[in-house]
Amino acid sequence: MSKFAGKKAVVTGGTHGMGLAIVKALLDGGAEVLYTGRNEKKIEEARTELKSDKAHVVRSDAASMADIRGLADTAQEKLGRVDYLFVNHGIAEVQTLEETTEESWDRHFAINTKGAFFTVQSLSPLLNDNGAIVFTTVANDLIFPGLSAYSGSKEAVRAISHVLAAELLPRKIRVNSVAPGYIKTPTMGVAGMTEEERRDFEKQGADTSPLKRMGTVEEVAAAALFLAADATFTTNVEFPVDGGFAQGLTGAH
């Protein structure tokens, strides 16, 4: 029998990158999945690629409270109850101390932080007791100049995840996070980089990782699914998928 047969999952930011890998792994295991994104073209590309009657895509902006409430309504309509919630969506814009604008700061916190919290608030009534929530945060110590707003917004998610882990204990809902290091996605999760900047970013990722390469979206998805489905005696942890980066491993190279 397929590992996730009968399971229902919601994945925010599931139209490309790590989120799409999580959606694919869930579908491969027999789950039914509702996933979100904003960009219509990317939504269509994901829909075409997945071609499954067990995959439901919804255009939903995590910065919009109306969209978040609408997502819960759609989840109830399409899935009924939910076993796993992956709060994966996120944006990053590289702006130095001098360049950072109030608009960019607010956008990061509206999408990455407020959107993450209210997604959980909105969907938690649908979550089955003994279910699981997995946030996508970021590797500890991934300090890249120009990512103050991004790093701050994700650190806040990390803190929120700990509080929610405590609040959801009575329902036996486990709350964990997957913390990626440098993962090879089309955007590297960072908006507005030139081709050259993206190459530098990727090079820094491969050079600074103790395993001397970037991670793959499938490696992040495997960890996220492990936390959701296999780690049934684990809550309130942040699981690094970073090639040893945040563990202070240096190694002989």
Ligand X SMILES: NC(=O)c1ccc[n+]([C@@H]2O[C@H](COP(=O)([O-])OP(=O)(O)OC[C@H]3O[C@@H](n4cnc5c(N)ncnc54)[C@H](OP(=O)(O)O)[C@@H]3O)[C@@H](O)[C@H]2O)c1
Which positions touch ligand X (CB under 6 A)? 12-19, 36-39, 42, 60-63, 88-92, 111, 136, 138, 180, 182-183, 185, 187-189
- Least distance from ligand X to the Cβ atom of residue 44, Å: 11
Catalytically annotated residue among 35, 84, 150, 182: 150
- Least distance from ligand X to the Cβ atom of residue 70, Å: 12
Identify which of residues 57 and 82 has a Cβ nearer to ligand X in the complex.
Answer: 57
Identify which of residues 128 and 184 has a Cβ nearer to ligand X in the complex.
Answer: 184
Taking each continuous run of H as one helix and of E as one strand, the counts in the chain are: 8, 7
* HEC profile of 130-191: EEEEEEECCCCCCCCCCEHHHHHHHHHHHHHHHHHHHHCHHHCCEEEEEEECCECCCCCCCE
- Least distance from ligand X to the Cβ atom of residue 36, Å: 5
Query: Does residue 182 carry a catalytic annotation?
Result: no
H or E segment and range at residue 9: strand 8-12
Q: How far apart are CA 168 and CA 135, in angstroms?
A: 14
- Least distance from ligand X to the Cβ atom of residue 252, Å: 25
Residue type, 26: L
Identify which of residues 106 and 129 has a Cβ nearer to ligand X in the complex.
Answer: 106
H or E segment and range at residue 208: helix 195-208
Identify which of residues 189 and 243 has a Cβ nearer to ligand X in the complex.
Answer: 189
Known catalytic residues?
Answer: 150
